Amino acid sequence: MALSKATAKKMKTPPPADGPKHVAIIMDGNGRWATQRGKPRLFGHQAGAKRVRQTVSACPDLGVKYLTIFAFSTENWKRTQTEVSGLMALFRRYIQREASYLQRLGARVRFIGDRAKLDKKLQTLMQYLEDLTSDNDHVHLTIALNYGSRDEVTRATQRLAVEVAEGRLRPDQVDSETLATFLDTYVLPDPDLVIRTSGEARISNFLLWQSAYAEYEFIDTQWPDFTPDVFEAVVRRYGKRERRFGAVPS
Ligand code: FPP
């Protein structure tokens, strides 16, 4: 018997075989989305924050265990004072409002980036959310806040240099695996797929080291329009790609 369209939609399609385990997203296009609607840029960021919840929730059904999102870069301080302080307030509210939902979902939340430069109240909330969710394993959400790859590698190198200078590490012991343990992402697997929304084809200092062999998807959808259906379509496209990691096809 043929299924009705509605029944078929309600049935869970199995996660794509060979789908990405770690997806990283550059959530771009909030400002343009708002401007096109005659609204201030912060309206777009608020709409973007709502998409974060839906995107995290969609991960388990898509077989995505790790989701890393770029919320604020080390370069974003160059935006107007109004936008920066509006974004910081949005991050604080996001943690306050979403903590119990993320906990119920079984999400383990981590933050990467230089948190020392963020305001103290936000730092306290970040620590609270990390502690609250530290035993969860259903999905791993990493939020990059005041994050930039060059800054991360610089901070890692400084700490590594101290280890060498104080004799705990010999220079010849420094290989790429050792260096990776000093990065903010040391507990995470490398991303399999990096998505950037809004039609720009740039990496913008995001996970440069970790994405050396990632697949990239630059899609036209603006972040506030990034529905779970769009997410699923991108994840399924990934399954059709052949990853070679520098080798020849078998
Ligand atoms: C880029 O769009 C987006 C940002 C710099 C901020 C990303 C923040 C959010 C999606 C808000 C919610 C996040 C969390 C974790 C609560 P843009 O402003 O550069 O857009 P434009 O290129 O159209 O100007």
Amino acid at 65: K
56: Cβ below 6 Å to ligand 1?
no
CA of 223 to the centre of ligand 1 (A): 8
Q: Residue 125: count other Cβ atoms within 10 Å of its Cβ.
A: 20
Question: pTM for the full model?
Answer: 0.93
% the chain with pLDDT above 90: 88
pLDDT at 3 over 60: no
The CA distance from 58 to 79, in Å, is 31
**pLDDT tens for residues 58-75?**
999 999 999 999 999 999
For β-strands 22-26 and 66-73, DSSP reports them as parallel
Q: Which atom of ligand 1 is nearest to the CA of 44?
A: 18
Q: CB–CB of 71/143 below 8 Å?
A: yes
Q: Which among 124, 147, 151 is positioned nearest to 70, based on CA atoms?
A: 147
Torsion angles phi and psi, residue 16, rounded to 5: -60, 135
From start to end of 176-226, where are the E strands?
193-196, 215-218
**pLDDT tens for residues 216-232?**
999 999 999 999 999 99
19: Cβ below 6 Å to ligand 1?
no
Burial level of 170, CB count in 10 A (0-12/13-18/19+)?
exposed
DSSP for residue 204: T
The CA distance from 173 to 21, in Å, is 30
pLDDT value at residue 144: 99
Query: Would you state the structure tokens that stand for residue 165, as one six-digit string?
Result: 């200078």
